[in-house]
């Protein structure tokens, strides 16, 4: 795992050097509406079908998330789910139905670098759904994921950070070259009325320690940390810290502690 980390890090440093010299520049132009299964452009959506947001709505989402407990996350709340709009295997309608059958009170679809699950469907009409997104970031030499909860999906600042291709929402080799800085992502999430949460932090390989990483992210405006997370699949292999350590750090910096399964398949 360390060989993989340093290889990725070397590639990152080389690519960053090219960008400093003006090579390989890339302009992110916002979210492109595409179908869930292909790269084909979707028909322009009717904005009137998307529920309008206001500050009261986003504040309500934040207060709701703050009220969730460890027991909630272990039994009836899942705030980390992916759909076919990124690299998940189940569409949003099926996920909602599965969540209801399972007795979940609240869920969040956190697709990678895209808000299209909300912009292209009626997902926000579902009362159990909390709007969310998951961004890929580089903080120095640390690759991490930043979750945004309770966000206004129509916010332009947030949309500008979204992937412009379907591959930018699902292919690891594309996403790892996102080069978004946590400061930019956190500011955009806040501008959209949401809270920024560090995803699966036990998987963050940090030579200087997880505590220092979180402390520096808090200085940038980090609001929360994902504590209640199962660390299955590949996350079990690239796990560098214990859940207890993550929870301890969360309490130390008075962060909102969230949880979810990071489901990429069925909820059943």
pLDDT tens track, the chain, 268 positions: 443 444 444 444 444 444 444 433 333 233 333 333 333 333 333 434 445 566 767 789 999 999 999 999 999 999 999 999 999 999 999 999 999 999 999 999 999 999 999 999 999 999 999 999 999 999 998 999 999 999 999 999 999 999 999 999 988 778 888 889 999 999 999 999 999 999 999 878 788 899 999 999 999 999 999 999 876 555 455 555 688 899 999 999 999 999 999 998 899 8
Distances (CA, A) of 183 to 76, 87, 139, 196, 217: 32, 25, 9, 10, 8
CATH number of the domain at 56-259, please?
Answer: 3.20.20.140
Q: What is the DSSP letter of 177?
A: T
> Rounded to 5 degrees, what angle do the CA atoms 199, 234, 264 make?
65
pLDDT at site 71 = 96
Tokens of 32: 């492109």
- Residue-level pLDDT at 42: 34
Give the 3-state secondary structure of residue 194. Answer: coil
How far, in whole angstroms, is CA 191 from its chain's centroid? Answer: 16
End-to-end Cα separation, the chain, in angstroms? 31
Residue 92 in contact with residue 128, Cβ under 8 Å? no
Distances in Å between the Cα of 163 and the Cα atoms of 144, 205, 246 are 16, 25, 29
Measured between alpha carbons, how far is 45 from 71 in angstroms, rounded to an integer? 38
254: left (phi over 0), alpha (psi -120 to 50) or beta: left
What are the tens digits of pLDDT across the range 95-110?
999 999 999 999 999 9
Give the CA diameter of the chain: 54
CB 218 within 8 A of CB 249: no
Give the contacts of 191 (CB within 8 A, at least 6 positions apart): 155, 157, 158
> Which segments within 105-159 are labelled E, that is strand?
106-109, 132-139, 142-149
Look up the pTM and report it.
0.79
Report whether 92 contacts 123 (CB < 8 A). Answer: yes
Q: How many CB atoms lie within 10 A of CB 181?
A: 14
For the chain, domain boundaries: 56-259
């Amino acid at each position: 795992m360390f060989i993989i980390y340093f290889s990725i890090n070397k590639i990152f440093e080389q690519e960053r050097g090219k960008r400093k010299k003006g090579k390989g520049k890339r302009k992110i132009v916002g979210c492109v509406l595409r179908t869930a299964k292909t790269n084909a452009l979707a028909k322009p959506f009717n904005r009137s079908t998307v529920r309008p947001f206001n500050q009261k709505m986003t504040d309500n989402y934040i207060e709701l998330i703050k009220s969730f407990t460890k027991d909630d996350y272990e039994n009836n709340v899942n705030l980390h789910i992916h759909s076919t709009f990124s690299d998940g295997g189940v569409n949003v309608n099926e996920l909602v139905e599965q969540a209801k059958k399972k007795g979940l009170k609240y869920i969040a679809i956190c697709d990678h670098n895209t808000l299209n699950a909300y912009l292209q469907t009626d997902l926000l009409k579902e009362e159990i759904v909390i709007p969310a997104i998951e961004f890929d970031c580089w903080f120095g030499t640390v690759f991490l994921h930043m979750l945004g909860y309770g966000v206004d999906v129509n916010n332009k600042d947030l949309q500008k950070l979204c992937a412009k291709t379907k591959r930018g929402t699902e292919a690891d080799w594309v996403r790892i070259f996102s080069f978004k800085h946590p400061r930019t992502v956190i500011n955009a999430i806040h501008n959209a009325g949401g809270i920024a949460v560090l995803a699966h932090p036990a998987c963050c390989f940090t030579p200087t320690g997880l505590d220092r990483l979180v402390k520096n992210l808090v200085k940038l405006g980090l609001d929360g940390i994902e504590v209640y997370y199962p660390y299955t699949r590949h996350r079990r292999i690239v796990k560098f810290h214990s859940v207890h350590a993550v929870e301890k750090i969360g309490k130390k910096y008075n962060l909102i502690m969230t949880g979810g399964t990071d489901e990429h398949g069925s909820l059943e």
